[in-house]
Amino acid sequence: MSELPDRQAINAIIEGHYADPFSLLGMHQTSNGLEVRALLPDASEVWVIETSTGRKCAQLKCLDSRGFFHGVIPRRKNPFRYQLAVTWHGEQNLIDDAYRFGPLLQELDSWLLAEGTHLRPYETLGAHADVIDGISGTRFLVWAPNARRVSVVGDFNYWDGRRHPMRFRREIGVWELFVPAARNGQLYKYEIIDQHGHLRLKSDPFAFESQMRPDSASVICGLPEKVAMREDRKAANAFDAPISIYEVHLGSWRRHTDNNFWLSYKELEEQLIPYVKEMGFTHIELMPINEHPFDGSWGYQPVGMYAPTRRFGTRDEFRHFVAAAHAAGLNVILDWVPGHFPSDDFGLAQFDGTALYEHEDPREGYHQDWNTLIYNYGRREVSNYLAGNALYWLERFGIDALRVDAVASMIYRDYSRPQGEWVPNHFGGRENLEAINFIRYTNRMLGRNAPGTVTIAEESTDFHGVSRPPEAGGLGFWFKWNLGWMHDTLDYMKLDPVYRSYHHHKMTFGMLYNYTENFVLPLSHDEVVHGKGSILDRMPGDTWQKFANLRAYYGWMWAFPGKKLLFMGDEFAQGREWNHDSSLDWHLLEGEDNWHNGVQRLVRDLNHTYRHYAPMHQCDFEGSGFDWLVVDDYQNSVFIFARRDREGNEIIVASNFTPVPRENYRFGINQPGGWREVINTDSAHYHGSNSGNGGVVWSDPLPSHNREHSLTLTLPPLATIWLVREAE
């Protein structure tokens, strides 16, 4: 280009329509010497300063009053490091020119991003502090292949899109720019002129911190350090470990009583973590903490997949919360939502004027249940964005497990859609093959690169092998929520006991498929919203019977094969439906000791007892770990089974789901000897009637239920008891 740019080029770059700013701006070799061009709106005077000597080399002339400057440095042919001394409103500033720096994206990163196999795309894309050629600043990279122009705007350039248009790497569809002096803590966005010429202002998909709604700017901040996973944390996730999960919505577990405001991450660290530990849970599951614009989504409509919400504090304060949980011996599970995203204009929707992250066809790309958009998993860059995000939370925050939301909506193209409103796959089937491949890839990748961490699927269908290896045709999750068990048992428990004998199978059916998956038994937030009431409210009868039913049900749940999950508030039998805008009803535990205190003590004792005795958890997914002793007594609504560990030690569990005490109830057992109650949900300690079997009950050499020895017990009304064999 000549030393005098044509008026068309000057107009284009000032108006924000020049797609190749580096070809025009910066230092260029010309026949007349080195030429420097700069776009500096509102500047009155500009000098080129040689960095090494501090000497003024040339004054740039203003070719356009809107801020385009140009000048030739005579007798200099080789480019050199320079700065610009710029006078704005009577004050001179010495700045580094963003357009004197070379390309940023490395060849290997470019290759892996294009291939969709970059393990850590967040280390390349997004905003990263850097020092280039001795100059401190921030490098910005964003994927927007169909944009006409992208500028980074923020606190460092008056949010003026003319000042920092970015270089387009056409081979990968990424825009890049190193902005000297842009620093941590400053806000930024990307100003995009999209494929159709429309101006869009977008948050960074890879922002590590963001503003809280209603604001939506991204925040420059460093990539957090990696967190090594200790061996005890790995062991706590094992298939044979006791896993009891406390599911929490951080915004409503507890609030400040004076103004109903949220607790901070620091306050939650001081209050929530000791409580969960004291209650005997092994894991805390956090409903999504990704930044999200709508409180009523509970975090399940995230726009900032890489940014913890600022509702409760900073990114680093959240990391400290996770570290404090680990110090207390608790593992942390994060709810992760790769299934859909909201359509807010500042987010991923129509990012560069095209359906970049979503599908163009609403039959594939629009989620009608939640008014959200569905990721296009078949696009390599999109799957890489999500898979990298999974590893990011595990590596950079020390998250121990991801519970993956709404898996069924991902793997079925006809999920919640009538015939004719969905697009079959290329085989004509209903499976979303691209989503299935994405899930399998992500689970395999995490298994290799974050050993000891696990993923848990919330999957509501009978898809085969959700928690089986991809090599065996499965999806590769470690665990799956057993929603069938949850629905069946709650349907049974809500019945008046007089009708339960007709629905006996609802409590036993789960064992018919128990070993097809590695199950978690969930009583989650979904069971206490949208008019369902509380778990306590599902129980029939008067107040005494409601609490007795609930205690008996918890005793059954903690004894049944599978890991456990309980939503906050259920541990003390909150009576009203959960409200995300207010605190749990902690006042129910105040004053005179009552039924709520009793349920809370029971859950604590169930957790500690469950963790103490290996038969209750070691063989959850092995057929040898469970044995029905009484399975067909539907007339009395009695169920009795044995749990067993690998050494053959047993615990007997007996449930009576009627309000009638069963005296002298005889049943066959595998191991003769003395048996002692370690849990009785009817104990007076839990505000029950205190019926039961005090001390040790000895077996008799009398055949019963096809066994040579038998035991005679008192089965308390609406109660579950656990018995441990006494050492001989």
Give how far Cα 382 sits from Cα of 122, 387, 412, Å: 13, 9, 18
**Mean pLDDT of the 448-462 span:** 95
Maximum separation of any 2 CA atoms in the chain, in Å? 111
How many beta carbons lie within 10 A of that of residue 230, not counting itself? 13
**Residue 454, beta-bridge partner list:** 401
Residue 237: pLDDT above 70?
A: yes
Catalytic pick from 35, 285, 358, 458?
A: 458
**Confidence at 100, pLDDT banded by 50, 70, 90:** very high
| Per-residue model confidence (pLDDT) at position 59 | 92
Residues 617 and 240: beta-carbon distance below 8 Å: yes
pLDDT at 90: 86
Burial degree of 411 (CB within 10 A; 0-12, 13-18, 19+) = buried
Set 285, 405, 517, 645: catalytic member: 405
Q: Is 405 a catalytic residue?
A: yes
Quote the tokens at residue 84: 């610009």
**Could you read off the pLDDT of 592-638 as tens digits, one per residue?**
999 999 999 999 999 999 999 999 999 999 999 999 999 999 999 99
> How confident is the model at residue 420, as a pLDDT?
87
Determine contact, residues 135/180, Cβ cutoff 8 Å: yes
Nearest in space to 481 (alpha carbons), one of 508, 466, 459, 512: 459
Residues in contact with 152: Cβ distance below 8 Å, sequence separation at least 6, in sequence order: 140, 164, 166, 177, 179, 188, 189, 190, 191
Residue with tokens 């900073």: 314
pLDDT at 4: 63
Q: What are phi and psi of 630, to 5 degrees?
A: -135, 115
- CA dist 492 and 501 (Å) reads 10
Q: What is the residue-wise DSSP string for 438-464? A: HHHHHHHHHHHHSTT-EEEE---S--T
Residues forming a β-bridge with 320: none
CB under 8 Å, gap of 24 or more: what pairs does 620-628 form?
620/239, 620/240, 620/518, 620/519, 620/561, 620/562, 620/563, 621/239, 621/515, 621/518, 621/519, 621/561, 622/515, 623/515, 625/561, 626/511, 626/514, 626/561, 627/670, 628/508, 628/511
Q: Check residue 31 and give its pLDDT.
A: 79
What's the length of the chain?
728
Q: Which two tokens stand for residue 265?
A: 């991450």
Long-range contacts of 619-624 (CB under 8 A, 24+ apart): 619/240, 619/561, 619/643, 619/644, 619/645, 619/646, 620/239, 620/240, 620/518, 620/519, 620/561, 620/562, 620/563, 621/239, 621/515, 621/518, 621/519, 621/561, 622/515, 623/515
Active site residue 191: no
DSSP string, 178-239: EEET--TT-EEEEEEE-TTS-EEEE--TT-SSBPPTT---EE--PPPPP-PPPHHHHHHTST
Q: DSSP class of residue 404?
A: E
What percent of the chain is helix, strand and coil (3-state, nearest 5)? 25, 30, 45
Per residue in 514-565, pLDDT (tens digit) is 999 999 999 999 999 999 999 999 999 999 999 999 999 999 999 999 999 9
210 token code pair? 């963001």
Arithmetic mean of pLDDT, 61-66: 90
CA 668 to chain CA centroid, Å, is 46
What does the alpha-carbon distance between residue 603 and residue 619 come to, in Å, rounded to a whole number? Answer: 22
The pLDDT assigned to 728 comes to 60
Residue 17 has pLDDT above 90, yes or no: no
pLDDT digits (tens, 9 = 90+) for 423-433: 999 999 999 99
Residue 107 has pLDDT above 70, yes or no: yes
pLDDT in tens, 155-183: 999 999 989 999 999 999 999 999 998 99
Q: Give the pLDDT confidence of 509-528 residue by residue, as tens digits.
A: 999 999 999 999 999 999 99
CA 115 from centre of chain = 25
2 falls in which pLDDT band (50, 70, 90)?
very low
pLDDT tens column, 468-515: 999 999 999 999 999 999 999 999 999 999 999 999 999 999 999 999
* Per-residue confidence band for 6, with pLDDT thresholds at 50, 70 and 90: confident
If you search the block for the tokens 């993956």, which residue do you land on?
Answer: 404
Place of tokens 């065996």: 472
Is the pLDDT score of 295 beyond 50?
Answer: yes
